[in-house]
Copies of this chain bind each other. A is one copy, B any other.
Amino acid sequence: MIPFNKPYLTSKELIYIKQAVEEHGHISGNGVFTKKCQSFFEQSWGFKKCLLTTSCTDALEMCALLLNIEPGDEVIMPSFTFVSTAIAFIRQGAVVRFVDSRTDHPGMNEHMIEELITPKTKAIVVVHYAGVACDMDTIMDIAVRYNVKVVEDAAQAIDSYYINSKGKKQALGSIGHLGCFSFHETKNIQCGEGGMLCINDEQYIQRSEVLWEKGTNRAEFFRGEIHKYGWVDIGSSFLPSEINAAFLWAQLENLEAIQSKRKLIWEHYSEALSQTFSLPFIPQYATNNAHMYYVLCSTLEERTDFIAKMKKQGVHPVFHYQSLHVSEFYKHKHDGRLLPHADRYTDCLVRLPLFYEIDENKVIEAVLNCY
């Protein structure tokens, strides 16, 4: 049987957890391994300030708090995304304006954003679906012109880039005012449940540390900048345990090996299935971090049939994302616009298993048996 996903130990995860307990004597948040991970991210991809979180959802919630989202504020985001993109902002009272997907890609249609901007718009949340960049120059230009903030939901986009028309290459998550990553077990780099907030606009750095540590100025205290710490703001316990950070650090040490292997698997899928399905589209301005290999069926019926046939062969592909604008929770709050491409990807997209230790030959064989 080939499951959809399988977590793995690169080598040192358990050693580092033991070290956190026995050598550092510290397994709550913000210890040695948290700092190692955060520095690594800052140095490798140019994020101004990184804070690990317990999930990408929590990182998105920090964005909603940092941007002072209040009841009635509007936030623009794709409909074809994980529910966390929306709930983080809705928890603060935001009204979400959903954007359709592109024709050629499940990511949001950048050219449908501007028409949704109103005086109440506070933020655009872009989602780099499958780790494939949105057209960030187009989006940042809109943001500048209308003075709204941009949050990159880069949950799937670690080690992926946007290359603008002048050839400048920027890591996803480093372009918007704020960026969010996930280290959920299905991600390239993982620690079970986990996430990270990247603060690229320096005005948010100081407050982000306060929100992270339950509304206290503990971070400043530990840096010796103040002589006593206390309660100064709202916040939550956004920081993860050192147990998770230690696990993540072991994965990061193996980043190159993980990424090389995933890219090989992705290329193998791409070559073997090019006669059966059209290849996942990657725009010129985007790179491929091999987070996901998806195929598109023509109809919901075909997809249902395909998944069933795959399962019969012991292979477990999955579909995902139900357009949020037609969900039970939001359908009566949505403004009524049709978002046909989001609905099409909802019905037709299938993700093939893709994990570090996979034997993708068996998946390919199973797919070819179906067609």
Query: Interface of A with B (CB < 8 Å)?
Result: 3, 5-9, 13-14, 17-18, 20-22, 25-29, 54-58, 61, 82-84, 86-88, 90-91, 184-186, 190-194, 214-216, 230-237, 239-244, 247, 322, 324, 327-330
A29-B193, A244-B244 are known contacts; what are 6 more A-B pairs with Cβ within 8 Å? A9-B21, A13-B21, A83-B231, A87-B215, A87-B236, A230-B328
Check if B87 sits within 8 Å of A192, measured CB to CB: no
- B61, B184, B231: the one within 8 Å of A327 (CB): B231
Measured between C-beta atoms, what is the minimum distance from A162 to chain B in Å?
26
Cβ of A82 to closest chain B Cβ, rounded Å: 8
Whether the Cβ atoms of B9 and A22 lie closer than 8 Å is yes
Distance of A239 Cα from B57 Cα, bound (Å): 11
When the two chains form their complex, are residues A54 and B54 in contact, meaning their CB atoms are under 8 A apart? yes
Closest B residue to A18 by CB, please name it. B14
Task: Assess whether B322 is in contact with A231, with CB atoms less than 8 Å apart.
Answer: yes
CA distance A233 to B61 in the complex (A): 16
B21 and A3 form a contact (CB under 8 A): no
- Once bound together, how far apart are the Cα atoms of A22 and B22, in whole Å? 24
Do A243 and B191 contact each other (CB < 8 Å), given the known contacts A87-B234, A234-B91? yes
Q: List 11 contacting pairs A-B, 8 Å CB cutoff, sorted by A.
A: A9-B21, A26-B185, A27-B191, A28-B185, A29-B192, A57-B214, A87-B235, A192-B244, A233-B329, A241-B244, A243-B247
Whether A231 and B84, one on each chain, are in contact in the complex, defined by CB atoms closer than 8 angstroms, is: no
* Residue from A7, A84, A90, A192 whose CB has the most chain B CB atoms within 10 Å: A192
Residues of B within 8 A of A324 (CB): 231
Q: Measured between C-beta atoms, what is the minimum distance from A117 to chain B in Å?
A: 24
A218 to chain B, nearest CB (A): 10
Give A6's nearest chain B residue, CB to CB: B25
A26 surroundings in chain B (CB, below 8 A):
7, 185
- Shortest CB distance A243–B (Å): 4
- Per the bound structure, the CA–CA distance linking A185 and B31 in Å amounts to 12
What residue of chain B has the Cβ atom nearest to residue A184's Cβ?
B28
B185 touches A27 (CB 8 A): yes
